[in-house]
A and B are shown apart, each in its own frame.
Chain A
Amino acid sequence: MVKDKHYKGSDLRWITITTLLLAIGVILRIISPNVGGISLNWNIVMYSTAILLCRPSLRQGFGIGLVSGIIATMTSKAALPYANLISDPAAAFVCALLAGTHFLDIKIGRVRLEPVLVIFITTFISGGVFVTLTKVILSLPMPLYLYAMMPAVLLVAALGSIAGQLLYFPAAKIFNDDNTLNKKPFILHDINLTVPKGSFFIITGVNGSGKTTLLLSMAGVRPSYFGGFENSSIHIGEFDVLKENPALLNRKIGVVMADYEAQLVTETVDDEIAFSLENTGMAPQDIIKKRNDVLKKTGLENMGKRKVASLSGGQKQRLVIAAVLAMDTPVLVLDEPVAAVDPEGAKEIYSLLYKLNKEYGKTIIVAEHDLKYVLDMKAQMAVIDKAYLKFAGEMDECFKYMYENKVYPEVIPLRWKIRWEMEKNIC
């Protein structure tokens, strides 16, 4: 089952945003003017903004605060810099709590006031804890604490919250805040699909319907900056694609992308095949054996010394398939393998795929909207329309479904349509 939705940020997103903003904060803090011992605490403004943008867990929030605290301790010129190690994590923790619960997500008119409120509270807590610790540990006099330090904290918090409110909106635009992320629709919705072992499976649908996303999901290529899967699972046999280490996947499933150029990395045909095998740590004599085998299977024998750049489109595509075959995966997924190949090359590619399926028992999954090459195969087919899987089954049943329900009927081969047309007339 595959289910995909762009929703909350994943690890990479919150780490990226916080690191970037915190770095900017540190720089701003170092260069911003210091008026009478009081300067704007940009660190806090920035990490609060980051927390509001990503709404991390409490633990992550605490971590963000700790990092900021360490930086502040090292850069601060205050009397007791080590107090930052307590004040910053405490404030960031509260900030993550407020952000996570949407407690202060208030709007006046169309203006969101969450940034100003949250950043004020965060800065105040951080500053408050900091001066209180300083007062207690250094035994400073009470009047100094009450009439100088606390008002300064309030002032910094007020300034910080205004700066934060102003900064939040451009930042939200650049990084896409949580609210806009949540509104993004599913790219794949409620898809339940079983591809039998050893089958030739075609996935069709309009460009943009989610074919490629589905294929790449199977191959473990999943969003790591934004979004991801919600209540989903993908299995290849016993192998759990979404949970296992992606590095293990290349022994389970081979991917051929629509743009073969993107997948060719070396200069000669021989090197190209050897590349992935070398990465697995295979012995040279085994690599040579394997290479001869896959070149023969793909009809590229005697081309080993050729430069990749000198091959035709069809040959390049076959080379990509050969390189993937070398990894001996039971499953091959191909995204529009003939899109950039001329008709003669396209026919060769499909007969090669057919051979791999029939003679070597590979499970082949192809996303395709040019169906004239697959008509003669006994294939299974699924059609995706706007993120939903509409039908999956035998190819002719799928065509029938598409024809009757007007799901992407343009792609149905003319031969089929005419046949139904004629059957209708006879009845």
Chain B
Amino acid sequence: MLNLKNISFSYAGREKIFDNIDLQIDTSLITAIAGRNGTGKTTLTRLIMGLVKAKAGTVELDGKIISDMPSYTLAKYIGYVFQNPDHQLFASTVYEETAYAPSKLGMNAEQIKKNVSQALADTGLSTKQNFMPQTLSLGDKQRLSIASSLAAAPKLLILDEPTSGQDCRERTVLLRLMRKLNKEGIGIILVTHDMDILAEHADRVVVLADKKIAFNGTPRGLFADTEKTTAFGLELPEAARISNEIGLGLCLTPRELYKKLAERRKSNDSK
């Protein structure tokens, strides 16, 4: 359980971004963070990761206060994947890149090797471990960023817009990986603009607006209220929009939509 208590934050000389917020995130789930541009989605994850420090309040992970830990110590508990993978890739091979965090965290050679090969296998990069990170495709780079976080064996993984710039196929691979990691017990915090992804993959959604947590619940709970969703500056997922238009009730995913369509067809046939 990740617990943010009475957090207030502002960048130097600017308006407050968070004003005394409380937030609990269940770290066994996939939690999405959504909101308009500039509401502090990325800042919130940076606060959790200790990359910026709150003016007031504490962050606790499983009862341990982490807000006063430096972020390099935090790397043991939390992995952070930047929106632009180029911001965090610097080693000359995929293997070295992945081995960097565990070696800096003082793991022994055997442990490093085990973690790295596990992380590379999980992310499907085993065959590319001698490649130069800069030569990989964007999708591969993104997964490499995830691998290098995973190698430190974190409890929580923060993904900031992990699918930007990728095509449908790469996106599917990445989201599948995310779910697999979550099943294996790693909590996921996903910052995303893409409501289709949010609706399909997130268990919980936190919406930021007006320096506050404006919503904290399930995606279904959020999208059931179209007016509220729009007021937050969010769009309905495409499936929900279509299902509303053709009167099928709220469908969050294409799969649900197809299913409801099939059901309606059946009931029409029986009539």
Contact = CB atoms under 8 A, between A and B. Distances in A.
Pick from B36, B165, B242 the residue with the most CB of A within 10 Å. Answer: B165
A418 B259 CA distance: 11
Given A415-B238, A418-B257, A336 B165 contact: yes
A342 B164 CA distance: 9
B261 A418 contact: yes
Contacts of A195: none
Interface in B125-184: 137-139, 164-170, 172
Given A342-B37, A414-B238, 8 more contacts: A207-B137, A207-B139, A207-B167, A342-B193, A413-B238, A417-B254, A418-B246, A418-B257
Pick from A339, A344, A369, A418 the residue with the most CB of B within 10 Å. Answer: A418
Nearest to B83: A340
Contacts of A32: none
A340 B164 contact: yes
Nearest to A421: B261
A410 B168 CA distance: 6
Given A207-B167, A339-B164, A339-B165, A418 B242 contact: yes
21 contacts: A207-B139, A207-B166, A208-B137, A312-B37, A340-B84, A343-B193, A343-B194, A345-B37, A369-B167, A369-B168, A372-B238, A413-B238, A414-B238, A414-B239, A414-B242, A414-B254, A415-B238, A421-B258, A422-B261, A425-B261, A425-B265
Contacts of B246: 418, 422
Contacts of A344: 36-37, 233
Contacts of B239: 414
A70 to B, nearest CB: 39
Contacts of B242: 414-415, 418
The 4 nearest A-B residue pairs measured at CB: A410-B168, A339-B165, A207-B167, A369-B167
B250 to A, nearest CB: 15
A411 interface: yes
Contacts of B84: 340
Contacts of A372: 238
Interface string A204-232: 00111000000000000000000000000
A407 interface: no
Contacts of A336: 165
Contacts of A414: 238-239, 242, 254, 257
Contacts of A339: 164-165
A155 interface: no
Contacts of B170: 207
A258 interface: yes
Interface string A173-206: 0000000000000000000000000000000001
Interface in A395-427: 408, 410-411, 413-415, 417-418, 421-422, 425
A281 B194 CA distance: 45
Contacts of B254: 414, 417
